[in-house]
Amino acid sequence: MGVAINRNDQIDTSMMLILRYKRPVVALKDIVEDYMPHLDMAAAKQRAAKCKLPFPAFKVDGNKSEYFVNLTDVAVWLDSLQKESRRNWSEVN
């Protein structure tokens, strides 16, 4: 598997997440614990069921299975937050 390198010779967010979790799809609970600690799992599941998370979540085997997320989608979300933050910072500095 090749490593995605951007113009600045940095590994992109998606690849960093895949390297961290060692797989391209992870349980929603892992992302909630690491990136949304203010959200409890009941609320996260409720948002996932209503498509109200900032990234898609899906179930693999029926309604009773847990939710999963693709790390590429999580990376897009994190990158958009970082881009917005950088823009806001640039306006002040």
Task: Establish how many alpha carbons lie within 13 A of residue 22's alpha carbon, considering only the half-sphere containing its beta carbon.
Answer: 0
Determine the pLDDT at residue 62: 86
Q: Provide block-wise average pLDDT over 10 residues at a time, the chain (93 residues).
A: 57 94 98 98 98 98 93 97 93 90
Domain that holds residue 45: 13-92
Query: Has residue 5 been placed in a domain?
Result: no
Determine the pLDDT at residue 4: 61
Among residues 53, 45, 60, the alpha carbon closest in space to that of 74 is found at: 53
Query: Has residue 2 been placed in a domain?
Result: no
- Tally the domains of the chain: 1
Q: What DSSP element (H or E) covers 31?
A: helix 28-35
Determine the pLDDT at residue 15: 95
Determine the pLDDT at residue 8: 60
Determine the pLDDT at residue 64: 87
Query: Has residue 1 been placed in a domain?
Result: no
pTM summary value: 0.84
Query: Has residue 88 been placed in a domain?
Result: yes
Determine the pLDDT at residue 5: 58
**Distance, first Cα to last Cα, the chain:** 40
Query: Has residue 70 been placed in a domain?
Result: yes
Query: Has residue 48 been placed in a domain?
Result: yes
Residue 12: phi and psi, rounded to 5, are -75, 165
